[in-house]
Amino acid sequence: MDDQLALRIRLFRESGQVRPEVAAFVTEELAALAAGGHTVTEDTAGMLTSHLMMALTRLLDGEPIAAFTTDEQVADELADHPEAVARAREISGRAERALGAALPESEINFLALHLAVLAQHSPA
């Protein structure tokens, strides 16, 4: 993780926008992605980081996460990226076990989109 991405996480945490445990969880997940060969930087993973931190925080705060009108298009797009969908489900499972926050299907799909983009920006 580069310094800019670490700064993003720290600013979210220090401003109170996300809980410390959410920031720690997302940091661990990003480290695992980097260890798996992904290029995890502000440019490649900034949006993934923000989206995941905010979704987990909303869930922990009891805020509803509605389905998106684009869910069907997102699912169609993900048909070519089964590895991203599998990884998003794994992350969701870890989030549920570690934080008690189960991501709904629409959030898993959006997380998978971010992971697919990350994979495109990483060495093969």
98 close to 39: Cβ distance less than 8 angstroms: no
pTM of the model: 0.90
As to burial, measured by CB atoms within 10 angstroms (0-12 exposed, 13-18 middle, 19+ buried), residue 37 is: exposed
pLDDT at 80: 86
List, for residues 15-47, the tens digit of each pLDDT value.
999 999 999 999 999 999 999 999 999 999 999
Q: Is the pLDDT of residue 124 over 90?
A: no
96-105 pLDDT tens trace: 999 999 898 8
Are the C-beta atoms of residues 39 and 121 closer than 8 Å to each other?
yes
Residue 65 pLDDT more than 80? Answer: no
Instruction: Please give the structure tokens belonging to residue 111.
Output: 């997380």
Residue 47 in tokens: 């949006």
